[in-house]
């Protein structure tokens, strides 16, 4: 077996949003090499670069040639325990290699759940004898994917899953009795999730959440345009959440006012895209000290900004 580090990082694109990654990279004049000529899901970029429209970034990739399935599996096992396959060719051979690796937990996660600190590697096959792998990746979830034990009866929409994912990534969530503002709350998935944690929720929306959400202990509703309410109107709060459908600059201006007011320190907001993504606004969000912008597994054509 021979192995060699690859020069740079591998960007694993998001199925359905590959075009957004290319656009983001093109906008900044960054050059990249598709790892495989006919497949564009994994891109190699030189240097320690980042991007928003990625499912995962492979931080220290290397490539090695192998002859047998056992040789490939042993090479990975000798480095660490956790390896997630990301295959787009050689599926049968890939499955045989994965069978020889320690099993990954395949059960769905409960919430609250904190992502483990142990490294989660990724690997792929370029052809029958060439494996590319990275022991460290930006996502703690296998291949950048997390699934939860869903509640299919109580929440009125599946939107709560992206809130659960963001809070799991952040490693912290509202505590019992903590005050939360949920802007763009209807039909009430996030308010449901927050009230399940025992938080005191002020749900703000122009349209009311479903009745069963309004009936929940700790949920109060304010019918209003969230953005015409100043932080001083709403007062001190533990968290501000926003899932409002709006152009990103509108949300940014509201968040700027919150940061300037000092009335809240923790935020989770969806940056929704209408048409081509507004990466200039995204970069402004990402520039807020201590914060992160990610594309969650449960995000659609949107990104999530959080500061905790």
Binding footprint of ligand SAM on the chain (CB under 6 A)? 157, 159-160, 183-190, 204-207, 225-227, 243-246
Least Cβ distance, residue 65 to ligand SAM (angstroms): 48
Q: Give the nearer residue to ligand SAM in terms of CB position, either 133 or 203.
A: 203
Least distance (Å) between residue 246 CB and ligand SAM: 6
Are 53 and 21 in contact by the 8 Å Cβ rule? The answer is: yes
| 179: helix, strand or coil | strand
165/243 with CB nearer ligand SAM? 243
SS3 79: coil
- CB of 244 vs ligand SAM, minimal distance in Å: 4
The set of residues, in sequence order, having a beta carbon less than 8 Å from that of 276 and lying 6+ positions away, is 23
Closer to ligand SAM by CB, 132 or 244: give it: 244
Q: How many CB atoms lie within 10 A of CB 83?
A: 24
Residue 298 Cβ vs ligand SAM, minimum distance, rounded to whole Å? 11
In the complex, minimum distance from the CB of residue 256 to ligand SAM, in angstroms, rounded to a whole number: 16
Compare residues 134 and 281 and give the one whose CB is closer to ligand SAM. Answer: 281
DSSP-based three-state secondary structure for 36: strand
**Rounded CA gap, 121 and 140, in Å?**
9
Residue closest to ligand SAM, measured at CB:
189
Taking residue 139's Cβ as centre, other Cβ atoms within 10 Å add up to 22
Contact 34, 43 (CB under 8 A): yes
User: What is the C-alpha separation between 230 and 296, in angstroms, rounded?
Assistant: 29
- Work out how close the CB of 240 gets to ligand SAM at its nearest, in angstroms, rounded to a whole number: 13
- Indicate the residue among 81 and 250 with the shorter CB distance to ligand SAM: 250
Closest to ligand SAM by CB, 75 or 161: 161
Which has the closest alpha carbon to 216: 187, 195, 188, 199?
A: 195
């Amino acid at each position: 077996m021979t192995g060699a580090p690859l020069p740079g990082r591998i960007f694993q694109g998001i199925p359905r949003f590959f075009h957004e990654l290319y656009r983001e990279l093109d906008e900044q004049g960054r050059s990249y090499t598709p790892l495989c000529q006919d497949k564009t899901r994994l891109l190699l970029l030189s240097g320690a670069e980042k991007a928003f429209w990625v499912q995962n970034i492979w931080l220290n990739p290397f490539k090695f040639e192998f002859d047998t399935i056992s040789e490939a599996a042993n090479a990975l096992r000798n480095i660490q325990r956790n390896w997630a396959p990301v295959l787009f060719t050689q599926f049968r051979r890939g499955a045989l290699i994965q069978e020889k690796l320690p099993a990954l937990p395949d059960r769905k996660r409960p919430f609250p759940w904190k992502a483990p600190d142990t490294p989660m590697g990724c690997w792929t096959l370029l052809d029958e004898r060439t494996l590319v792998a990275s022991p460290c990746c930006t996502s703690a979830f296998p291949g950048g994917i997390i699934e939860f034990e869903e509640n299919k009866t109580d929440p009125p929409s599946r939107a709560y899953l992206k809130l659960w994912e963001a809070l799991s990534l952040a490693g912290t969530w509202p505590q019992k009795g903590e005050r939360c503002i949920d802007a763009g709350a209807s039909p009430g998935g996030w308010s449901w999730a927050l009230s399940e944690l025992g938080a005191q929720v002020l749900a703000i929306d122009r349209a009311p959440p479903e009745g069963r959400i309004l009936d929940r202990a700790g949920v109060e509703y304010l019918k209003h345009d969230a953005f015409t309410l100043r932080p001083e109107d709403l007062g001190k709060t533990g968290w501000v959440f926003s899932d409002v459908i709006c152009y990103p600059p509108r949300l940014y201006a509201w968040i700027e006012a919150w940061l300037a007011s000092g009335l809240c320190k923790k935020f989770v907001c969806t940056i929704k895209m209408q048409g081509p993504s507004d990466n200039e606004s995204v970069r402004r969000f990402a520039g807020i000290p201590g914060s992160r912008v990610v594309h969650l597994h449960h995000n659609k054509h949107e990104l999530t900004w959080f500061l905790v």
